[in-house]
Amino acid sequence: MIQIHYPPSREYAGPVQDRYDVIVIGAGPAGAATGTLLAEQGHSVLILERSTVPRFHIGESLIPETYWSLKRLGLIDQLKASAFPKKFSVQFFSEGMKPSKPFYFDEYNDHESSQTWQVERGDFDKMLVDNAVTKGATVRTEAHVMEVLFDGDQAVGVKVKFSTGEVREIACRVVADASGQSSFLVHRLNLKTPDTRLKKASVWSYFQGARRDPGRDEGATLILQTEGKTSWFWYIPLRNDIVSVGCTGATSYMFSKGVDPESVFQRELGRCPALQERLQGSTRYTEYFATKDYSYISRQAAGPGWVLVGDACGFIDPVYSSGVYLAMKSGEFVADAVDVALRSNDLSQQALGSWYPTYHQGVENFRKLVYAFYTPGFSFGEFFRQHPQYRSHMTDILIGAVFKPGVDEIFQVMGEVLPPEEVTLAG
């Protein structure tokens, strides 16, 4: 069952020290991965989460390369033993009707990492957080970071409010901001650059009893464009016969004045016959949720004594389900950089941001594919009919192998659909 409201848990309560090597803001996949790996290296780590654990979160579909982060965290066996539906492929439907041939990930890489999972984020993220505790991190929930404390421009700790009402200042050598879309430091330091090419909004809900394809297609993510391509739906099968169904389009189109999320969802569903057919006879299981204008990047990934990780550093778009993978991958990058920085006692911007140029290159490969997806008149089907040799590049990016050398060759040919000026970031 999908739980939207979770009760507070005593599991993550208890005393905290006055000082840690690292304080992590947020216990999502980015914060949990960063905290786990640093604790494993013997550093003292405090992860502060303002919500409960578990908590409800959007973003259920994993992509195959997440396997390697999960493996490094020691979680593959737990995932294999879980009831999360197995995902072998993604399938695109153009203009609400015509299905493409599914992209089966193992057709390109015959390895167990080619199968991934569709996860309710409450339970998945709790698995990550519990693992952080097992590896030695201290986690405190309902602990709201109100301020990052600076000595000059050097971050030296945080001010946090606990659910008891107690407000504490806690010192640390490094603050890792993994606060997700709240992007705590990005707002405080005025570093946010919205991706103006992607001013999108999404509305979603959960349904029980919707039609799934049989066999290994049962857990496939479906991406269904609506007629006229003004929006697209995701269809993500979860446990207990529940499906996450959401619609994304330009914010100005989706939410014109006075329109409520349910009307938007129903309006767009009316333009997507293939989805109507799948939802026939299903029951809506939750309220409608909505969010908008979530595509942005930070102009800086690190500074003296602080570093950003996961969505706090930037978010592209939901279409290729890259968010959790990039959150965990950046968690690995950041943990490795912070480990070196702590050992060498070099907490400079350069040391804490050393990982960023490599990471950014990979992220840009997702971004370019997202731009292509939204470019009017561009058709992936047509592109691959003309350039079949690039289908494997596309699959590489869809599975998350965005750091693979040569994967960006596809964009030399796809060039005409890309923006004239690429969005860039300082490290």
Ligand X SMILES: Cc1cc2nc3c(=O)[nH]c(=O)nc-3n(C[C@H](O)[C@H](O)[C@H](O)COP(=O)(O)OP(=O)(O)OC[C@H]3O[C@@H](n4cnc5c(N)ncnc54)[C@H](O)[C@@H]3O)c2cc1C
Task: Verify binding: residue 184, ligand X, rule CB under 6 A.
Answer: yes
Contact 62, 123 (CB under 8 A): no
Is the Cβ of residue 117 or residue 383 nearer to ligand X in the bound state?
A: 117
Q: How many CB atoms lie within 10 A of CB 246?
A: 22
Contact 169, 286 (CB under 8 A): no
Is the Cβ of residue 163 or residue 208 nearer to ligand X in the bound state?
A: 163
How near is the Cβ of 1 to ligand X at its closest, in Å?
A: 19
Closest to 128 (Cα-Cα) out of 16, 12, 42: 12
Task: Verify binding: residue 327, ligand X, rule CB under 6 A.
Answer: yes
Task: Verify binding: residue 115, ligand X, rule CB under 6 A.
Answer: no
Residue 347 corresponds to which amino acid? Answer: L
Is the Cβ of residue 60 or residue 396 nearer to ligand X in the bound state?
A: 60
Is the Cβ of residue 29 or residue 102 nearer to ligand X in the bound state?
A: 29
Is the Cβ of residue 308 or residue 414 nearer to ligand X in the bound state?
A: 308
Q: How many residues form the binding site for ligand X (CB under 6 A)?
A: 39
Closest to 375 (Cα-Cα) out of 406, 405, 411: 411
Stretch in the footprint of ligand X (CB under 6 A) among 95-103, 147-155, 175-183, 209-217: 175-183
CA-to-CA dists, residue 321 to 90, 340, 398, angstroms: 10, 31, 9
- In sequence order, the 6+-apart residues with CB closer than 8 A to the CB of 257 are none
Please tell me the chain's helix, strand, coil percentages from 3-state DSSP, rounded to the nearest 5: 35, 25, 35
Applying CB under 6 A, among 36, 52, 202, 365 the residue interacting with ligand X is 202
Task: Verify binding: residue 219, ligand X, rule CB under 6 A.
Answer: no
Task: Verify binding: residue 310, ligand X, rule CB under 6 A.
Answer: yes
Applying CB under 6 A, among 282, 291, 375, 392 the residue interacting with ligand X is 291
Residue 75 corresponds to which amino acid? Answer: L
Task: Verify binding: residue 49, ligand X, rule CB under 6 A.
Answer: yes
Closest to 248 (Cα-Cα) out of 157, 192, 315, 313: 315
Contact 29, 328 (CB under 8 A): yes
Task: Verify binding: residue 395, ligand X, rule CB under 6 A.
Answer: no
Contact 181, 78 (CB under 8 A): no
Interaction pattern, residues 135-174, with ligand X; x per rule: CB under 6 A: ---------xx-----------------------------
Stretch in the footprint of ligand X (CB under 6 A) among 73-81, 307-315, 395-403, 419-427: 307-315
- DSSP letters, 30-41, are HHHHHHHHHHHT
Task: Verify binding: residue 294, ligand X, rule CB under 6 A.
Answer: yes
- Residue ranges binding ligand X (CB under 6 A): 25-31, 48-51, 55, 57-61, 144-145, 178-182, 184, 202, 246, 291, 294, 310-312, 315, 318, 321, 323-325, 327
